Amino acid sequence: MTENRTAVVTGGTKGIGRAVAETLLERGMRVFICARNKTEVSETVSDLSSRGSVAGEVCDMRSESQVRMMLDECVRVFGGIDVLVNNAGVGTFGETVDEISPEKFRQIIETNINGVYYACHFAIPHLKERGGYIFNISSLAGQNAHPGMAAYNASKFGLNGFSEALMQEVRHDGIKVSYICPGSVNTEFGGDRVSDEKAWQLQPADIARTVSDLLDFPPNALPSKVEIRPSKPPKE
């Protein structure tokens, strides 16, 4: 079903996005990645090119024009868009509402919400052409609030509502929407580092597998929200 189809993976240079890109390439899909860091986009495209058809472009998801141009480039290179994985996201933790700067607050909301909207807005006409799938990578922070996480909580609570409305809007056009809510994943997210000490956490490949498994559901069935968490976190 997915062979020779095209997927866009935002934030595809590391962590979850990179694992999703690898898995979709292994399925025979063409994959177009984007991120802000030019060197990392080039290196990732080069690293992944042995696995299949991959291309990429620098794009800041906070910029409407950059997102439109990035998707146009994907269509130019691969001839369409079938799957959109809205994965690019940022978060900072530990700063209370009176401490977090307006600039940082805007960065989180504009990346995690506006960026997803821009990508959906410009990709949906392409997805409608042959049916498609939109994955929004949300978080358990989209339902569990914590002090010091107000900006990130707001962005992911918002993303969940956005995803549910979108799912109902486009399902009659042959476009499925799922939002995936992971607990802790072993990545560099929020300035963290990938480490063996976090082997108990979810790994990026677990989220990539979730995306891949959802693509295999029959056309009549749509798991629209998926929660996934470490099965054995340290006892508190």
* Catalytic residue (choose from 118, 133, 152, 179): 152
Using CB under 6 A as the criterion, what x/- string covers residues 62-101 for binding ligand NAP? Answer: x------------------------xxxxx----------
Q: Reduced to 3 states, what is the DSSP secondary structure of residue 132?
A: strand
* Paired tokens of 143: 């339902």
The single residue listed with the structure tokens 């949906």 is 124
For ligand NAP, the binding residue among 6, 111, 153, 178 (CB under 6 A) is: 111
* Paired tokens of 70: 């990035």
In the complex, the smallest distance separating the C-beta of residue 147 from ligand NAP, rounded to whole angstroms, is: 18
Q: Any catalytic annotation for residue 152?
A: yes
* Paired tokens of 78: 């691969």
Stretch in the footprint of ligand NAP (CB under 6 A) among 21-29, 72-80, 97-105, 177-185: 177-185
Backbone angles phi, psi at 55, to 5 degrees: -145, 170
- CA–CA dist 196, 119 (Å, integer): 34
CB neighbours (10 Å) of residue 154?
19
Q: Which is nearer to ligand NAP, 58 or 131 (CB)?
A: 58
- CA–CA dist 20, 87 (Å, integer): 9
Q: Which is nearer to ligand NAP, 41 or 124 (CB)?
A: 41
For ligand NAP, the binding residue among 7, 8, 9, 16 (CB under 6 A) is: 16
Instruction: Give me the amino acid identity at 179.
Output: Y
- CA–CA dist 129, 164 (Å, integer): 22
In the complex, the smallest distance separating the C-beta of residue 136 from ligand NAP, rounded to whole angstroms, is: 9
Residues that bind ligand NAP (CB under 6 A): 10-11, 13-17, 34-37, 40, 59-62, 87-91, 111, 137, 139, 182, 184-185, 187-189
What residues act catalytically?
152
